[in-house]
Structure 1
Amino acid sequence: MTRGLLLAALCGLTACQRHAPETATADRVHYLVGDAWHAGANWFYPRETFDLHATCVATVGRFHDGQVLADGVVFHTGLLTGGHQTLQLPSVVQVTNLLNGRRITLRLDDRGPADPARGLELSPEAARLLGASGPTPVAIDEDSGWSQALARRLGGGDGTLAAAPVGVVSVESLPPPGSALPTAVTEAATAARPDDSATAYPDRPPPGPVQMPVGPVAYVIDGGSFSDRRYAVNFAQRIGGRFTGSGGRRPSFEVIAGPYARLDEAEAALDLARRVGLTGARLTVEQ
């Protein structure tokens, strides 16, 4: 057997083999936070967050019928869904297209996008409702109640428990020896538990859309924060940006570059920030 044929045979049996993406026909939905993951040199660190408010650039993802998303949902054409790099799954967010003001309510079921210059992945149907045909500046506002209801329903979440019953207890004087003790009388109502029912919080929320005000947008690079002013000064100079913040008992200095009127300018600035060592730099949007 020639060397080429031998290598081909070994590749067919081992790591050279390409595996097709997982497909299925029925949902196997589960709660997911997950481990850190990376795409090339870019690392992302999922965490449980129920109050996310952020801006970013969204992209239209490549989904296909039968694709199993990160939380077990099976994708089909027309499904309104999306992906986020770090949020627990599933999560419910309001997404606003900052160019035209369209806002939809969206359940996120997948991880992505892998590109650090993009912060949200949209299914084709979500992109259609938002009027987004390509990279689009958006605002993301998490629906805390909805996200926590889904988390608890699937066995995850922050573990918050309803408050213990609170009441005013009145007890009569003790009876003679040998008699039964009196029963305490609770006068106040039991504190209400969160309503996690499918009636209050359906598994998949109605999308909208609704129309919001529109204004000019600009792109800004968030280079991260430092407790040492010297590092902030150094990185700000290297990316042609600036730093804000102050010292004190808990010093914090933010490195920022921009604003940029054009997305391609902001993407070039983000690339520079990552090259000089700001590996957690993010592309954000101001309006």
Structure 2
Amino acid sequence: MKSAASRPALLRTALIAAACATPLLAFGGLVHTAAAQPLSGPAADYPMVLGAPFAVDGVTYTPADTLNYDAVGYAVPDSAGEGGISGSHRTLPLPCYVEVTALDSGRTILVRLERRGPMQGDGLVALSPGALAQLGLTGAHAPVRVRRVNPPEVERALLRTGQHAPQRMDTPPGLLTALKRKLGILPPADPRPEVLAAALAGTAPTAQPPVPTAPRPVGTASAPQARPVTTRNTTPMPAPRPPLPSPVASPPKVAAPPKPAASAPVPPKPAVAKPAPAAKPEPKPAPKPEAKPAAASTGGGYAVQVGAFSTRANAEKAAREVGGTVLPAGKFFRVRIGAASQDQAKAALGKAKRAGYADAQIQRAP
């Protein structure tokens, strides 16, 4: 049994041990709390995850870290996306950042890819409701372009916190036309006129009967047709020879009169008129070579076809940029620049190409 004198010493020892243990417990709690908090800031984008290959509708997809990824396809709603500007992709690393462009309007936004998908259908990318709203898409299957980018940390931080990054510059109509042709929703470049007209009107082209070769009137827009070569004999015909004069019977001899007496004067012999020679026919002039008809001179006006747009707003915007006019063509709106001469048409074509309309071309005005 311990004495009463030793009890204060034991109490002091217990208090010191408790005081030393309290900071350790507190530090352990801080460490556990910090480990439970999710990463934020730039560290939230690393490490990027690829994952194992997987199959969707019988097609196997292998994730890969493709830095220059640039593809066209269709955007679908992302059922897993709740808020913010996010999306799903099948092969790009997670997370990563892409620019998504709506091919119907040219509007482009920045999207953070955070999930794998879409897990059914032929969609290229699945977008959250916020991304669809910022891109101006309402349908469930819209043509888009997806291009991987490396945005600055300021824009990354906005998307990580569910906010919108600044909207990109609209894609010019010329590039949109090329992207639509790549996706297969527009015919190839420089098609036949009837195919292009049918594509703009949204109908199938009808078979046209062959046009016979014939001279075209002055001022037509098409190139002159090849004419069959006709060989003409341009050697002048020789003039006909004049007929030989017919022989003329000599006049009968007249008996000499008796010689008069020496005193009488001798009368002169009568002059016998000689027949005039037959008149020679005048030679006919040689026929001149037949003059070939002069080639028809080219006339008429010109027009520069800038592009065709699915919305009037985009067409009017393009018309203001190049100084052209908007012409409805079925479901599309064409932008054209009129020109009175070929030089003016070439100048208007250069202006359209400098404005970003690479598919602009010169046409003859109807």
Q: Which has the higher contact order (CA 8 A, sep 6+)?
A: 1
TM-score by length of 1: 0.41
More strand by share: 1
TM-score by length of 2: 0.33
More helix by share: 2
Which of structures 1 and 2 has the bigger CA Rg?
2
